[in-house]
Amino acid sequence: MRVDRAELARVALDGYSHGPTASTDGTNVALAKTPDPVAMMLVEGVSDQIAVETLAAREGRNLTTDRVAVVPIGGAGAIGRVLAEHASATLRLVALCDAGEEALVRRGIEASGLQV
């Protein structure tokens, strides 16, 4: 049986945002899907969100049921703004970024008053 890669990609990406507003749209969708999260994983972009959610599904995890929101933030430089909007004493936060962006993300987290 021949796999149609274009169709497979279309189905796999169905429901995910794309284009210039992808991260903003992705953030809104992620928070609507998990309106009262106990944990929030901040990722740079929608492709990172897809990777994390795909891996979780492959491992049999339902992040929505677990109340974990995987939120694309539009790049590592947005970490401070996102933390100002969403950080709380009861919310567990995880940030996933490219190795080259670690220092920027670390500074953003520290500037927000949170511990790395």
- pLDDT tens-digit series, residues 57-102: 999 999 999 999 999 999 999 999 999 988 887 889 999 999 999 9
Length of the chain: 116
Q: State the residue range of the domain holding 23.
A: 5-111
CA distances from 15 to 7, 47, 58, 63, 104 (A): 14, 13, 18, 16, 30
Instruction: Break the chain down into helix, strand, coil percent, rounded to 5.
Output: 50, 15, 35
**pLDDT > 70? residue 5:** no
Q: How many domains does the chain have?
A: 1
For the chain, the first-to-last Cα distance in angstroms comes to: 49
Q: What is the pLDDT of residues 32-50, one digit of tens each?
A: 888 899 999 999 998 999 9
Is the predicted pLDDT of residue 13 greater than 70, yes or no? no
Domain membership flag for residue 67: yes
pTM of the model: 0.81
Tell me how far the alpha carbon of residue 111 is from its chain's centroid.
21
Is 116 inside any structural domain?
Answer: no
Is 11 inside a domain boundary?
yes
